[in-house]
Structure formats: structure tokens, C-alpha cells
Amino acid sequence: MKQALPIISIPDERLKKISQPLTEVEILSSAVQKLGIDMIATMYEDDGIGLAAPQIGKNIRLITIGKDALKNQTALPFSIQNDLVLFNPEITEYSWKTEVDEEGCLSVPGYAGLVARHIEITVSAQTLTGEKIIFLAKKYFARVLQHEIDHLNGILFIDRAKEVWKHKRTISI
């Protein structure tokens, strides 16, 4: 059964630590598998599109990405119909072209900012089955991946932002 987990926020020092890679045995363990599934539930409960393990206080190289970020992607070694769980993701190549856009973060509540990100990246990672994959991510998917991988390296969007502002979340009824 999926279980939402508590998200930590700034100034918690665990958000600034570099996360440790997982072995294949650890990836395939029931505890880590469940953690990946629970992170997806947590991400959606808090209305996010991505979540990194440091955001739930675990300094391991694990991220989740919601399937909505995968729209309009092609030639991926996984289904764009499902949410994505990646272990040990690393960016191996960056496009020279970048784009500035607004970002927010579940661990930096109440703030948004403008962040420049590469519009295409190549990522190597492992799947829930431990399979090693390499893929090209473009546009929004690339942005979300860069944001989440930054978390694994102890970097928050506010560390990269050209401008940061406080905002109020509005709820329409």
C-alpha cells in the first residue's frame, strides 16, 4: 500500500548534503522499492511533478518524476504512460542552449524563482528492476530531471535562481 511521507524543508541541513549511490542489491530490496512507490504518492499528495529522496530526509540517489513531465518525449527506454522511479541518475551530457523558466520546490515552500536550465540532457540511471539505461530528455522533462538531480547533489533551485520571490498559493473553489 502506498504511503505519503513527510517532506522536509529549508533550513534542514539534509537538503544540502550529497546523496550516496545505491548498489543493485539495495535497489532491488523491498524497502527501497517501497520507498520509490511511496515517494510517488508523496509527490502527488503535495501536488509536485518530481521528488528526490533528500526531500524526505533520505540522502540516497533516488528520484521520482510524474508521468505528466514525460509528455512529448520520444525514444525513451521506458513508458511515458507511467510515473518514473530512477536510481543513481547522472547527467552525462548537456545541450549548449538553456532556457529560463519559473520553478518552485516542495522543500522551499512559499517561494518561486527564475532558473536557467539546459533544454536537452542525456541521463544515465537505473530503473526499479536495476536495469541500466541511458536516455535523452528534452524541454520540461529535462528541467524536472535537472531540478531533482540537483537535490541529490545538495543544490536547491534557490541556489541557481536569477530571481526569487515569495508567493501565496491560491485555491480556487
Grid cell at residue 139 = 524541454
Q: What single DSSP character describes residue 100?
A: E
Active-site amino acid positions: 148
Length of the chain (residues): 173
Give the Cα separation of 93 and 119 in Å (integer).
Answer: 11
Cα Rg, the chain, nearest whole Å: 15
Contact 93, 134 (CB under 8 A): no
Give the Cα separation of 81 and 67 in Å (integer).
Answer: 6
Give the Cα separation of 53 and 56 in Å (integer).
Answer: 5
3-class DSSP state for residue 63? Answer: strand
